[in-house]
Amino acid sequence: MSFPETLSPDSYVTLNSGQRMPVVGFGLYKATDAGNSCREALKAGYTHIDSARHYANETAVGEVLRDSECAKDRDSVFLTTKVKAPEHGYETCKNAVIDSVTFPKPDRWDLILLHDPTAGSQKRIEAYKALAEALKEGKTKSIGVSNFGVHHIEELVAANVGPLPAVNQVELHPWCQQRWIVDYCKSKGILIQAYCPIVRGKYMDHPTLVNICNKVGKTGAQVLIRWSLQHGFVPLPKSDKAERIQENFDVFSFELDEESMAQLDSLDQGDAGAISWNPTRVE
């Protein structure tokens, strides 16, 4: 897994699977109109869309990419989906993947993740085995996990039912840095994707963030996304507003200096800083 030293809108990271992933993705969690948001993101320059079966918007993604007026063709867009915990287990996960590649949904995905570890040990292992088979069958180009703690990943490695996860997608921002997971994944060559990278707007008035925004002349969201990028994470900002969608992608014309990065790093509250369910420590 290698992250580019110089970042641009066309930058990508090479996963441990050998596949290339654009360094900023667009998240569709709780999108009011997933199709319109996806369409606006593609117009703004995003080439990386993050969906999930739980979000119930895979069909919207497929329809947008088949639209003759779509700003991008399918081969130029990196698509992610996730199989939710109630569908974990071998047969249920296998059937979920088949459903996710059935018209009117996209006919293939670039990355399929296990959405979270809450189904329990046996079902996690069985589901990952099903993802490994989907990989061999060409339904996806890479597989991975989301919301997994170190013990969950080590469990999959020990079970030896598939390749090392290419990705672990977790909540990640200055107030919840999940360093125990980040350090482990980096040591193993597993890419970290950061969801909630702008903390759902919760800390936009925080004095440290405001001071850095004034220093670099950028918004709080842009600074937080840039923080993710400079740590080697792939952030997944989301918005339903076209102007915010564009703003969140305009993060390649500036850098945060060492002082600003250190100031943001100092805000970590550990697990207490999470604003989502963050089930990384469940058994």
The H or E element containing residue 74 is none
In the prediction, which pLDDT does 111 show? Answer: 99
Distance CA 174, CA 200 (A): 13
Q: Confirm or deny that 115 is annotated as ligand binding.
A: yes
Q: What's the mean pLDDT in 53-68?
A: 94
Q: Which residues are catalytic?
A: 55
Cβ neighbours of 122 (radius 10 Å): 12
Q: What's the mean pLDDT in 54-62?
A: 95
In the prediction, which pLDDT does 224 show? Answer: 99
Phi, psi at 272, each rounded to 5°? -65, -20
22-45 residues labelled b (16+ CB within 10 A) or e (exposed): bbbbbbbbebeebbebbbbbbebb
Residue-wise pLDDT for 156-202, tens only, equals: 999 999 999 999 999 999 999 999 999 999 999 999 999 999 999 99
Break the chain into its structural domains and give their ranges. Answer: 12-201+232-242
Residue-wise pLDDT for 202-240, tens only, equals: 999 999 999 999 999 999 999 999 999 999 999 999 999
In the prediction, which pLDDT does 282 show? Answer: 97
Percent of the chain with pLDDT strictly greater than 70:
100
CATH number, domain 12-201+232-242:
3.20.20.100
Give yes or no for residue 249 having a pLDDT over 80.
yes
